[in-house]
Amino acid sequence: MTHQQASVSVLFVCMGNICRSPAGEGVFRQHVEREGDGDKFHIDSAGTIAYHSGDPADRRMREAAARRGYTLDSIARQVTREDLDEFDLIVAMDQDNLRDLEQLAGGPRPNLRLLGSFLPEYDGHPKDAPQVPDPYYGGPRGFEEVLDMIERACPGLFSACREISRFSVP
């Protein structure tokens, strides 16, 4: 689905677009489909660097996600300036990613948020939100922790998206 066809568009961003952001894309896509709103969303992911562009998600992340019933089939790409204008909501996995996005945007924007700000215990306190740790150099538990955080953030993220779509022009 293209941006123009969707009611709301969400872009997940991490550094290389091979672990955290493809997991965010895949987990949130399934959450939205379970809610019956898959046709109203355009969901994608990107990285702040181009090092892994063209690669599939990290094998370890794909395997951890598959054990929970998720398919991660995105191909890594670097975030573009155009993405900042085209996506309704851009979800950064950590403060470094958020700073890189703000730099690309020329400053903070309301559509740039940390994934941790959608966790139920941080609703209304986005500045205190935790970062999603990068599991790339760690062991298997790190990939599970990333998936745990994303799953816990999905309901809050979904609610925020429904608010965005309420105010979108059809």
Which uninterrupted H or E stretch holds 96? Answer: helix 95-105
Other CB atoms within a 10 A radius of the CB of residue 102 amount to 15
Judge whether 73 counts as a catalytic residue: no
Catalytic residue among 19, 20, 29, 161: 20
- Helix pair 20-34, 59-67: axis angle to 10 deg: 30
Judge whether 20 counts as a catalytic residue: yes
Catalytic residue among 58, 83, 134, 154: 134
* 162 touches 156 (CB < 8 A): no
* 113 touches 92 (CB < 8 A): yes
Judge whether 88 counts as a catalytic residue: no
Catalytic positions are: 14, 20, 134
